[in-house]
Amino acid sequence: MAIAERRQTTFTPPPLQPPVEAPVIPLLTTLEKRLLNEFQHGLPLSPTPYADMAEKLDSSEQEVIRLLQKLKELGYISRVGPVFKPRQVGYSTLAAMAVPCDQLHTAAEYVTSRSEVNHNYERHHHLNLWFVVTAADQAAVEQVLTEIETHCGFTVLNLPLLKPFHIDLGFPLWN
C-alpha cells in the first residue's frame, strides 16, 4: 500500500494595507447635546421658536440657530421642522426606484434637489433608492413622480399609504 506524500505549504499573508483613517467626529458640547435631546419633540409653535428654545436652554437665539446649522453641516441632523400626520396637510407618498449603482449618486442628487422630496435613502435591495414626496394633493404628487421618472430615466414605484401607523423615533440620546 502506497502512502501519499504530504506537501508542505506555507501561508503567506497578503501585504498589510495602510490603516484607513477614521473620520474625525467632533465631540458635542453639553449645550449641543441638550439641544438634540430636548427638542426631538415639542418644538415650540410660536412666532419665535428659536428664541423659546434658547430660553429653555439658558442660551441665545443666535447661538441656537448657529448650533443647529453646525449640527446639520456635521450630519447630526438633516432638518428642523414639524412632522405632520399623513394626509392632514397635503398629500404624500413613499416611492422607490431601481437605479444602477453607477448612476445612483446622480439620481439621488436630482431627487434631493426637488423641494417636494422630504428625504431619500439608499437601500441594499433591487429597489435601491427610496424617497418621500409631499405636495398639495394627489395629482401634484403624481406629477412630481412623473417628472422624476422622466428626468432620471427609471420607473418610479408609487407606494401610497394604505393604513397609517405611528412610529415615534424620538428617544433619549444622553442622560
**Would you state the pLDDT for residue 40?**
86
91-159: which CATH topology? Alpha-Beta Plaits (3.30.70)
The domain spans of the chain are: 30-73, 91-159
Q: Sign of the C-alpha dihedral, residues 95, 100, 106, 109?
A: positive
* DSSP letters spanning the chain: -PPPPPPP----PPPPPPPPPPPP-PPPPHHHHHHHHHTSS----SS-HHHHHHHHHTS-HHHHHHHHHHHHHTTS-S--S--PPTTTSSEEEEEEE---HHHHHHHHHHHHH-TTEEEEEE-SSSS-EEEEEEESSHHHHHHHHHHHHHHHTSPEEEE--SS------------
> Mean pLDDT for each consecutive 10-residue tract of the chain (175 residues)?
54 63 77 92 91 97 96 84 76 95 95 90 93 94 98 96 79 75
Residue of 63, 119, 54, 65 lying closest to 92 (CA atoms) = 119
**Would you state the pLDDT for residue 16?**
65
**Would you state the pLDDT for residue 41?**
84
Confirm if 36 and 77 have CB atoms less than 8 A apart: yes
**Would you state the pLDDT for residue 7?**
53
Confirm if 135 and 90 have CB atoms less than 8 A apart: yes
**Would you state the pLDDT for residue 174?**
73
**Would you state the pLDDT for residue 58?**
97
